Structure 1
Amino acid sequence: MIPTPDLSHLKSEDYKHVYEPAEDTFILLDALEEDADELRRSKPLICLEIGSGSGCVSAFAGAILGPSAPLYLTTDINPYACRATRATGRQNRVPIEPILTSLTGPLRRRLRHAVDIMLFNPPYVPTDTDEADDAQQRANIAGAWAGGHDGMEVTNTLLDQVESLLSAKGRFYLVAVKQNDIHGICQRMLSQHGLKGETVLQRRAGREHLYVLKFTRQSSNP
């Protein structure tokens, strides 16, 4: 087993501002570990995490791939999260470069068809649209969970950007819950963007039914 990244440098005060790793985080770690051999064989050059929060997921990717293999980039709208991500990278000896921006921000043009691994544990909890909009505008911890109508308002924006970022061998891992319409997400990504989706893992966590979906180009090889 690949150990969970060391987060001992983050204290209770930090988690007032930054999302604390929970079951949705851990199912994504488990999905990456399940694909670890394939990820290593693909020899990725760029790993991009959207909404990095504590930095736990990117640090875990670094544990799989090695600290000097790909370039580890992250984005988050929350400045506290960017600082926590950088600190988590240092704590785990993974050189993570956090960027304070919404979703892919200025990276979209620079990284066109260049991202080999893309990771997103989005705000997927269904809420009022106003609540989701307010959370994004305030760029605070609520932005980590308030997902608007069907929990998909933020995710929908990112889904339209994925194809333009993924390399020929790229993989996009997305955390979702049953209410997000898993089948609908996969159909949309295939019909609109030509990306093939599959469920890597699913499990129940309290009242939530969590999924990790993986999207690749139809011509990509495992």
Structure 2
Amino acid sequence: MKPSVADVRLTSYNKDVYEPSDDSFALVDALQQHDWTSFSPDVCLEVGCGSGYVICSVAKMLSQHGLRAQVLASDISSAALEATQETLVAHGVADVELIQGDLLKPLIPRFQHQVDLLIFNPPYVPTPDDELTRTDIARAWAGGNRGRAIIDKFLPQVKEVLSPRGFMYMVTVTDNRPEDILQLLSNDDIEGKVILERAADEEALRILCCWRRHERDAEGHH
């Protein structure tokens, strides 16, 4: 049974919010491959929810499999949180908590080692560093040198929130050097691999799935 996902036609976005695109669809496709029948997450969190397409899809997957979880979505942009709320309402999805904040920092005290499903579609496009300070839609994709400025801020925070049985799904592109990202995570005893590859326009998307080393032997992982 293929899990249901959000309807892109009901997804809300505006000029200040990143619309669902190839990376969003690839991330949701990767999540669809997860073995939801043997993995029952208690806490699901998407960082950088944008339009809400991905977190809405996750909520629908949970519902389809009869799973109940605390579902949260965060973004630094108030416009993104408004769009996510509109997307959730349009799909009849309730009980998703929305939080405004920068990456995981504001969530670490509350969810230390408690997030079972962590999702991140970062600003990964290589850009001049001065684009990192923009406050318009460019903030959704501007990644600085090698597209790694935001990613490299995020990676050290993962170990603080990922639960012993948790999984993280993250979008990268070849320019980000995914193998280097996996090595950095490995230094924090988090291992993973590329589970989906897809060509999209001028990008080569790579979806990573990561989990804590020595904990559950990649439960639900393919």
1:40-75: CA deviations, max 9, x gaps? 422111110000001010111111111871111111
1:171 maps onto 2:170 in alignment? no
Find the partner of 1:202 among 178, 197, 202: 197
* Structure 1 residue 203, shift from structure 2 partner: 1.0
1:66 maps to which residue? 63
Whole-Å Cα distance in 2 between the matches of residues 131 and 101 of structure 1?
Answer: 19
Alignment of 1:42-191 (within 5 A): 42-66=39-63, 69-95=68-94, 96-132=96-132, 134-135=133-134, 138=135, 140-190=136-186
1:214 maps onto 2:209 in alignment? yes
Whole-Å Cα distance in 2 between the matches of residues 10 and 197 of structure 1?
Answer: 30
* Structure 1 residue 6, shift from structure 2 partner: 2.6
Structure 1 unmatched runs, 5+: none
Letter in 1 for 2:151: T
CA change 1:178–1:15 in 2 (3 A) is same
2:20 maps to which residue? 21
Q: Moved runs in structure 1, 4+ residues, more than 3 A?
A: 1-4, 7-11
Whole-Å Cα distance in 2 between the matches of residues 220 and 73 of structure 1?
Answer: 23
TM-score in terms of structure 1 length: 0.91
* Structure 1 residue 4, shift from structure 2 partner: 3.6
Answer yes or no: is the 8 Å Cα contact 2:123–2:150 preserved in 1: yes
Aligned residue-pair number: 213
* Structure 1 residue 164, shift from structure 2 partner: 0.9
Whole-Å Cα distance in 1 between the matches of residues 148 and 36 of structure 2?
Answer: 27
Letter in 2 for 1:52: C
Q: Percent identity between the aligned chains?
A: 36
1:39 maps onto 2:36 in alignment? yes
Whole-Å Cα distance in 2 between the matches of residues 102 and 80 of structure 1?
Answer: 14
Structure 2 unmatched runs, 5+: none
Q: Aligned-residue CA RMSD in angstroms?
A: 1.6
* Structure 1 residue 187, shift from structure 2 partner: 1.1
TM-score in terms of structure 2 length: 0.91
Match of 2:143, SS state, is coil
Answer yes or no: is the 8 Å Cα contact 1:17–1:141 preserved in 2: yes
* Structure 1 residue 15, shift from structure 2 partner: 2.4
